[in-house]
Every structure is written in structure tokens, then in C-alpha cells.
Amino acid sequence: MRLADGSEPGPVYFDVGSGTHMPSSTQWHVYDGRFGRPRATVLRGSCSCGWRGMAEYPLDWTTLPHDKPLYEAAIDLSGPIADHDAHLSVIRAAAVQLPAELIDLFSMKATTTDNRPPPDLQDRVRRLG
């Protein structure tokens, strides 16, 4: 997501009146220029790790509605989504497989219903250390 000046906008805050909590969003469709929000000029893939896609997908504001949310417009998101999927594939390919013993321990922890580890879990963790 980029603005006309080439910058990447920060979160959009929603004024919901009084209160201590002010909701915000960085979803692509909030940058529609309505209600004083920034207006995006291009879309691109992005990830919470900081990665940004090289390809940019321009938004044609001569055809987009100025009075409706962007998610209601028929915007083709396949380019940014495909770029993000490709980024995730690279991350998966570079990931190190956890040892089977560690996967077993995580699985045991995930299946416990209370917050206490299974009886033999602490012994197994000690053996890994």
C-alpha cells in the first residue's frame, strides 16, 4: 500500500466518540480517502515480518467509487495475494524442521485441558536441555 507521495501510511483510526479505546486498522480497504483517511494509489503484497512486494498494482480512482468502501468495489487482489503467497513459500522453504521430540512435546502441551503440563512433560523437557 502506497500513497501518492510514495509513503506507506500508518494505521487509520476510527473515531467512535468518547472512551479510552480508539479502534484502528491497516487493512488495505481503509485507505479509501473517505472521512479524512489517506487514499492509496497502489496496492502491493505485504507481511507482518516487514516484507513488501516489489510489484505494485495501481488503483484507478477515475473508475473507483468515492463514496463507498473499497471492499465493495470489484478490485482484483490476485496480484498482491499471489506475491504474498510466494513470500510465504520462500519462508516455508527456509524454515528449519523442529526435532520430532520437540513437536511431540508441543503436541502434548496443546492437548492438555488445564494449564498444568502432563506428568512426564517436565522430565522430557529436562532431557532435551
Residue 61's φ and ψ, nearest 5 degrees, are -75, -5
For the chain, where are the alpha helices, taking DSSP H only?
78-94, 100-111, 121-128
Q: Which of 9, 37, 51, 52 contacts Zn ion by CB under 5 A?
A: 51
Q: Does 93 bind Zn ion (CB under 5 A)?
A: no
Tell me the window of 2-10, 25-33, 40-48, 66-74 that interacts with Zn ion (CB under 5 A).
40-48
DSSP 19-37: SS---EE--GGG-BSGGG-
Find the shortest distance in angstroms from Cβ 49 to Zn ion. 3
Q: Does 47 bind Zn ion (CB under 5 A)?
A: yes
Find the shortest distance in angstroms from Cβ 124 to Zn ion. 32
